[in-house]
Amino acid sequence: MGIEYLKAEGLFRLTAGDTEYVIGIADGKYVGHVYFGKAIDDSRCGYLMRTEEPPFVPSRNPGEKGSFADAFFWEYSTWGVGDYRESCLNVRTAGGSRGCELHYEGYRILEGKPGLKGLPATFCRDEENGGGMTLEIFCRDQVLGLKAVLRYSVFEDSPAVIRSVELINEGQETLYLEKVLTACLDMDLEEGDLLTLGGSWARERHMIRRPLAFGKQLVSSFRGESGHQDHPFLAVMEKGAGRERGQVYAMHFVYSGNFMAEAEVSQFDNVRMVMGIHPEGFEWVLKPGVSFTAPEVVCVYSDQGLDKMTHIFHDLYRGHLIRSHYLHKKRPILINNWEATYFDFDSGRLLEIAEEAARRGIEMLVMDDGWFGKREKPAGSLGDWTVNEEKLPGGLPRLVKEVEKLGLSFGIWFEPEMISPDSDLYRAHPDWAMHLPGREPVQSRAQYVLDLSRAEVVDYVYESVAAILRSAPVSYVKWDMNRQMTDVGSAVLGREHQGELFHRYILGVYELQERLMKEFPDLLLENCASGGARFDPGMLYYSPQIWCSDDTDAVERLAIQEGTALLYPLGAIGAHVSACPNHITGRMTPFRTRGHVAMAGTFGYELDITKLPEEEKQMIQNQVETYHRFQPLVREGDYYRIASWAENRRYDCWEVVSKDRREALVTFVQVLAEPNRHSRKLFLKGLDPEAEYCLEGSGRVYKGALLMYGGFLVQPMKGDFMSQMYHFTVNYER
Ligand code: DGJ
């Protein structure tokens, strides 16, 4: 790892693992992109900026500055001065004119990586900031008096390059930031594909691959959250690239609010990737002396397809993003009462569930929605965070005590960001709900969204959640958020600042969770948003695990978890076994398969255990044992996708290999049974080719090379939705 300035060549070179990122300065002022890819270690690479060919740099050919601007590979493109591709920055002056041109002024190379105030960000785990470096490139628009700091960080143990940008108004006049994306990445790529993640509620983060096409291809959200529908991720893959082969350039946004991510194929067959806060509904007022920091973007290059990209993201997030001390710890196996009871519960019902759960080895009871105010259905009482003592006589202290007596710890659900029209809070403070003057706010799930740009609202929310947590020994919080935003207006922000509300809202969420983690450092926080609508790297900074989807159907989960695990380590993926027929799809799947699928995540149950047949209760005991055995491997290992049901519509397979390659766990799901089939050959990955692997329970031994290149044979099973786990270990010292 290193960052250096090559003075003679005027280049900045960042090296991280086997990856190199090179930045050049053209004409002494234009910050250009030279290279991002496999390390080349040749300081003569500056010619890649193409400044020695027409239209040349503006000092040599001033009459064609426009042509230069529209073809140059910019590190940070600005709007209005000749680059017609998607720009990162657009600024309006108090006089109403738009346009910005940033010229290079200088640089600074720092040890470590500074945090981003109020924002989630990757960090050096070493307390002294060791193991990381940051390059700051200073630029200025003289006319606007705007300074820009382009930041690039690298870590010793990761090939990723982390980017962010800070804008500082050093002029005399107020500036209006109409668009601030974090990064653009220009590259030559004549043919390739675009990979994104998308879907809907209960179908989150399916992988979507399509050919790159001339023009702009966009994924985005202006729902106030990263969303079920799109994900703040974008990968450009060279033609023919796959899981193990080919070049992949990826961007992932460490942010949980509105975003845009776009790939644009322009007139010269170049591709530009951009990522940042969605400009729709955004405007930031930048007074003189004030700065604005855009959330960071993780840039990843892989020369070995998606598998390598996945490993880079997993290792980066485990090593440099998740802060919770649960990161490397076993998570409690929980049972959540949502699908067991919905709103229809009281202490008695919860304790019945807890008692049976304790008997079967489950470790925590989580009380979901419906324990507060007068809430009996998904309407009403949000904001009134007082325990409903009719349901829970003696309040939380008594219930938690009873649960603990059974040997379980206790977790609780909140939806802190919301307010119900039918709530005491709304009756007292109707203006705390986001709304637009003269309009009745749109209800969604019969609720409004709190204006978290207001300090007094943030304080109220924090104190209501904290008071509950102070009242009893609560070990876990599920932080939910069940609607997307409309009527994004604040009663107090002032006319000029309404365009800041989306972003200020998310800053409010981050502040709340930061405060929570400070006061309750031992709390296990699980974020959730109507299933997986805010599953993003931003939230991962605050909670080590996120609820993946409300869809707990084992088959549907295959595609959802495949897409999620493309970027996120399995230990971050909330996954539970639920009852059948599945409440969303109506599908019947074997209990065993549901267990196998949920074990590719944090693992838990979400069903009425008291109503299960004895046979399934006993299976829970087995699953609990299996989880205990394999959870360190699943949480810490390297994940490989072997086959994808989303692609082949017949079977699914993934593998987790320990970092020392002495252990591997393969999970195979036969989604549809087929008649007259021979065994299926699977090619395992990531093993030590020379090592001898024993397959547990079979007495068989295979060389790693045999399993990877010759293949492993999986016998057909009778019935749909069947699954099998295969555990391989190297049982000798080398
Ligand atoms: C949506 C969540 O995803 C569910 O798990 C559940 O907590 C409900 N909200 C409760 O309202």
480 is catalytic: yes
Kindly tell me if the per-residue pLDDT of 130 is higher than 90: no
Q: What is the pLDDT of residues 284-320, one digit of tens each?
A: 999 999 999 999 999 999 999 999 999 999 999 999 9
pLDDT at 126: 81
Q: What is the pLDDT of residues 657-703, one digit of tens each?
A: 999 999 999 999 999 999 999 999 999 999 999 999 999 999 999 99
Between CA 697 and CA 724 the distance in angstroms is 12
The answer, yes or no, to whether residue 190 has pLDDT greater than 90, is no
User: Which residue owns the Cα nearest ligand 1 atom 11?
Assistant: 369
- Closest residue by Cα to atom 2, ligand 1, is 530
Q: How many CB atoms lie within 10 A of CB 590?
A: 18
Residue whose CB lies within 8 A of the most ligand 1 atoms, among 201, 527, 547, for a mutation test: 547
Whether cis (ω within 30° of 0) applies to the bond prior to 581 is: yes
pLDDT of residue 734 exceeding 80 = no
Q: Percent of the chain scored above 90 by pLDDT? A: 98
**Contact between residue 379 and residue 647 where contact means Cβ atoms under 8 Å apart:** no
Ligand 1 atom showing the smallest separation from residue 368 Cα: 7
pLDDT in tens, 1-14: 899 999 999 999 99
**Could you tell me the distance, in angstroms and rounded to a whole number, from the CA of residue 369 to the centre of ligand 1?**
7
3 state DSSP class of 449: strand
Q: What are φ and ψ of residue 550, in 5° steps? A: -70, -15
Distance 25 CA to ligand 1 centre (A): 51
Residue (of 534, 686, 571, 660) closest to 227 by Cα position: 534
372 close to ligand 1 (CB < 6 Angstrom): no
Alpha-carbon distance of 386 to 468, in angstroms, equals 8
- Candidate list 480, 553, 638, 688, residue with the active-site label: 480
Question: Residue whose CA is closest, atom 9 of ligand 1?
Answer: 530
Tell me, what's the pLDDT at 635? 98
Measured torsion, CA atoms of residues 170, 172, 176, 177, in degrees rounded to the nearest 10: -10
pLDDT tens profile 549-600:
999 999 999 999 999 999 999 999 999 999 999 999 999 999 999 999 999 9
At 4 the pLDDT is: 98
Relative to the CA of 606, which ligand 1 atom is closest? 5
CA angle at 665 for the pair 662 and 670, rounded to the nearest 5°:
155
550 a catalytic residue = yes
pLDDT, residue 733, reads: 82
Q: Quick one: angle between helices 614-636 and 591-598, nearest 10?
A: 20
Half-sphere exposure of 38 (CA within 13 A, CB side): 8
Q: Among 188-192, 372-376, 513-517, 726-730, name the one with the lowest average pLDDT.
A: 188-192
What residues does 293 pair with on adjacent strands?
166
Q: How confident is the model at residue 193 (pLDDT cuts 50, 70, 90)?
A: very high
Share of the chain above pLDDT 70, in %: 100
Catalytic residue among 186, 193, 451, 550: 550
- Judge if pTM exceeds 0.85: yes
Ligand 1 neighbour 530 (Cβ under 6 A)? yes
Any ligand 1 atom below 6 A from CB of 422? no
Ligand 1 geometric centre to CA of 575 (Å)? 13
